[in-house]
Every structure is written in structure tokens, then in C-alpha cells.
Amino acid sequence: MTTLFINIKELLQIREISVLKVSGAEMAILPSLKNAYLVVENDIITGFGSMDNLPKIAADTIIDATGKMILPTWCDSHTHLVYAGNREQEFVDRINGMTYEEIANRGGGILNSAQKLNETSEAEIFNQSKVRLQEIMRLGTGAVEIKSGYGLTVDGELKMLRVIQQLAAQFPITIKATFLGAHAFPLEYKNNRKGYIDLIINEMLPRIAQDNLADFIDVFCEKGYFTVAETEEIMQAGIQFGLQPKIHVNQFHSIGGIQAGVKYNALSVDHLEILHPADIEVLKNTQTMPVALPSCSYFLSIPYTPAREMLAAGLPLALATDYNPGSTPSGNMNFVVATACIKMKMTPEEAINAATINGAYAMGLSETHGSITIGKKANFILTKPIASYYQLPYAFGSNLIDTVFIAGQRIK
Ligand code: NIG
Ligand code: FE
């Protein structure tokens, strides 16, 4: 199956295969080609170039993209999109003045979602999550990381990870799975923290590893959740089972989570709303990708990750949704890119780099995803006719997507 796209107004994010992430000032550059063609064979990009040099190609399908642009699909490296039910009541409680912390302290928040998840069948969780996954595919996401963390029991965590595995088997989108048993302490372990950590390390991890249910390990390192010492212990155990860390840090407080992540070679450290100069310093010259989640800042009315300071320090930055029922009930990467521009003062080039190539890096996929590169997956967004790619973040409430292709397949 060969598909040829012709007359592409601009082909964005063209990269050599050797580029795995972009940092600091490099993020301001978005390599592109105007008046281009693109060739796809089955699920792989096999060629592109200027229409002036269009070779003779025997294509099964020719798609005329006059006036339209093509860019790689979004790489959403941080979601919790497998969950049961919703938390609209907490949303209204926050409107009426309660804080996220107060809601969690009364047994709501993550524990509320955990109760719902444990009361819901695996088939029903799959059905609810499938709808969310299909929605984000239509919104242009072609690779996504999904976490467990609403089970908080051996059965619940395994159930979530099996649902993620089933989603990966049934849909063309690339999925990476992260084990987040250390998302919160269940009520029955409130006064027995060691007991829950032992359950994670001695019961959950061995079974997850045995069934090959996760790629990464995550911990919510935060006041009221897991301390830095507990985070280190859990990361260490995860590493022993072959899971690289990708952790939640600095959402509400800077307590040393970034330093712990760097020490254990985390692939990414995510949230970073509260960042001190020492936190930025420790990320320099590491392989750890910082990840910002601006929809979470928007929804909870908390600070935005200080992107400008991070880029000025030469750091890379990725953008992801954090799609979850409590702090970010949205998986829309178009909104994330727009919000990063509007609220974090990232340029459109920086935001698109952060949401594609750097997002791919943050889930270990930058050799196959995140750019228009020969040999990479045929994952891309065909836009509606637009004057410039600035329109993507500028017209923040509009859907400017014409068609999404994932693994060469048109998404309906
Ligand atoms: O990334 N911060 C920890 N976990 C999620 C929110 C979880 C929830 O409220 O259900 C987050 O924001
Ligand atoms: Fe999260």
C-alpha cells in the first residue's frame, strides 16, 4: 500500500533520524519544507521532498493537500486515561471554594477514583477508556503513555495494566504503560506506609514484571503522598525489575524529587509547576526530560511550569496532557500546545517541538516517532487549509485538523 501526498503547503518537523530531542535555543527552530510531497508505504514514511523534484511513484492512493500542512502526530508522554467514572462533583466543590488538597484530605481525589476503579469490571473500564483513546486519536495524538495508579491494590493495579495492554493490542496508536502503584496511600495503609510500599515492591512489581505489563515506574513524590526517601526506594525496586523511572515531582512543592529522579536516571520528571533555581541546575547535562502539563495548571489554577527559565538554562522541555479525572479531564494536545504558547510564553516552534520530538523522547520513542523522518512511523496530522502554522496555537478553540493518520491508517 503506497500513499502519496502532493502539494503540501508546508511539511513540518523534518528531522534526521539521529535527532532524539531538542534543547534550549534549538527548540526555537522547526525545520520545514514548503510545497512538498510525502510518500508512505504501509505504516512507514519512505520519502518526502519538494514538489519541484516529484519522482515518478506508482501510488495506490494520491491525496492532494493543496493549502494544507502536515506535521507529526502529538506524542503525549503523560496520561492516566484508564479510569472509571468521573469526578465532576469535586470540580464543582472546587468552584465553590475547596482546594484540591482539602478534597484529597477528606478521602476524595485519587482515593475516590481508586474506589470507583475497584468497583468496576475490567470490561467496563476498557469500554470507558477506549472512548477516551479514540477521542485523542481524532485530536491528533499518535503515541501515548498511560499510567496505572487508580487501583492501589494488587488486583486493581493489574487490572488497569491489562486494560492498557488490551488497548495497545486493539488500536494503531503506540502505547507505553507505566506502573504507578505509588500514586497515593490507600486509607487502610494510612498508618502503615511501610506496609503499602512492601506491597508495591514484593507483590505488585514481581507480577507486573512476570506478565510484562509495564515499561516504566512512576511515583507521586509530593508532600502528603510519597517522600523523597520512599520515592527512591520504589524507583530502585522498579529498576531491578527492568522499569525505568518517570516520576511526578514538584506539582505543589519542591521537596527534592527532581534530584532523586536524576540520581536514578529517570527518563522524565513531570509537572514542575514549583521549580527552584537548584531544580533547574540539577537537570542540566542529564538524560532526563522535564515534562510540563499546562492543562493541569489551567484546570487547578496552579502555577505554570517556568518554560522560559528552563529553555534559557539550555534544558529541553516536553509537553503532555496529564489526562486524568481529577486534575486534567482533557486529553487534547492541541489545547496543551496553545496553552503553552499563551500562558508559558513558548513560541509555536518551541511548543510543537515539545509536543512531538521531545514528547517521543519522554516515552522512549524518539527513534520511531515525533518527526517526519524516513523510516519512522507514518503518524501525522493533515491540517485544514491554514495561512501559517501559527494558526494552530493562535486559534486555540478551533479544530484545525482535517485528517489524522496513525501507522498509515486514516483515523475516522
Ligand atoms: O498528575 N498528581 C498526581 N496525579 C495526577 C492527578 C490524580 C488525580 O487527581 O486523580 C496528576 O495530576
Ligand atoms: Fe499525572
pLDDT of amino acid 102 = 93
Say how far apart CA 79 and CA 325 lie, in whole Å: 10
CATH of domain 75-361: 3.20.20.140
Minimal-distance CA residue to ligand 1 atom 5: 327
Q: Is the CB of residue 334 below 6 angstroms from any atom belonging to ligand 1?
A: no
Per-residue pLDDT tens over the stretch 120-177: 999 999 999 999 999 999 999 999 999 999 999 999 999 999 999 999 999 999 999 9
CA 78 / ligand 2 centre spacing (Å) = 6
Question: Which is the closest atom of ligand 1 to the Cα of 270?
Answer: 1
pLDDT of amino acid 394 = 98
Q: Is the CB of residue 324 below 6 angstroms from any atom belonging to ligand 1?
A: yes
> Which three cell numbers mark 278?
537548584
Q: Is the CB of residue 100 below 6 angstroms from any atom belonging to ligand 1?
A: no
Per-residue pLDDT tens over the stretch 235-265: 999 999 999 999 999 999 999 999 999 999 9
Per-residue pLDDT tens over the stretch 296-332: 999 999 999 999 999 999 999 999 999 999 999 999 9
Q: Which ligand gives the minimal distance to the CA of 326?
A: 1
Using CA of residue 142, residue 405, residue 50, residue 352, what is the dihedral sign? negative
Place 107 in a pLDDT band, splitting at 50, 70 and 90: confident
Task: Answer yes or no: is the ipTM higher than 0.90.
Answer: yes
CA 327 / ligand 1 centre spacing (Å) = 6
Q: Is the CB of residue 332 below 6 angstroms from any atom belonging to ligand 1?
A: no
Q: Is the CB of residue 141 below 6 angstroms from any atom belonging to ligand 1?
A: no
Per-residue pLDDT tens over the stretch 353-397: 999 999 999 999 999 999 999 999 999 999 999 999 999 999 999
Minimal-distance CA residue to ligand 1 atom 3: 220
Place 336 in a pLDDT band, splitting at 50, 70 and 90: very high
CA 183 / ligand 1 centre spacing (Å) = 8
Q: Which ligand gives the minimal distance to the CA of 103?
A: 1
Q: Is the CB of residue 149 below 6 angstroms from any atom belonging to ligand 1?
A: no
Placement of cell 526530560 in the chain = 289
Per-residue pLDDT tens over the stretch 260-273: 999 999 999 999 99
User: Quick one: average pLDDT of 88-93?
Assistant: 96
User: Quick one: average pLDDT of 213-239?
Assistant: 98
Residue 34: Cβ within 10 Å count: 11
Q: Is the CB of residue 248 below 6 angstroms from any atom belonging to ligand 1?
A: yes
> What type of residue is 121?
S
CA 245 / ligand 2 centre spacing (Å) = 14
The conformational region for residue 44 under phi > 0 = left, psi -120 to 50 = alpha, else beta, is beta
pLDDT of amino acid 97 = 95
Sketch the domain layout of the chain as residue ranges: 2-72+371-411, 75-361
CA 329 / ligand 1 centre spacing (Å) = 10
Annotated binding-site members for 4-imidazolone-5-propanoate? 87, 150, 183, 251, 327
Q: Is the CB of residue 129 below 6 angstroms from any atom belonging to ligand 1?
A: no
Q: Is the CB of residue 326 below 6 angstroms from any atom belonging to ligand 1?
A: yes
Residue 121, exposed/middle/buried by CB under 10 A (0-12, 13-18, 19+)? exposed
Annotated binding-site members for Fe(3+)? 78, 80, 248, 322
CA 290 / ligand 2 centre spacing (Å) = 13
Place 335 in a pLDDT band, splitting at 50, 70 and 90: very high
Per-residue pLDDT tens over the stretch 18-64: 999 999 999 999 999 999 999 999 999 999 999 999 999 999 999 99
2-72+371-411 CATH pick, 2.30.40.10, 3.90.1150.10, 3.40.50.720, 3.40.50.300: 2.30.40.10
CA 251 / ligand 1 centre spacing (Å) = 9
pLDDT of amino acid 88 = 96
Torsion of the alpha carbons at 101, 147, 134 and 365, rounded to the nearest 10: 130
CA 80 / ligand 1 centre spacing (Å) = 8
Q: Which ligand gives the minimal distance to the CA of 221?
A: 1
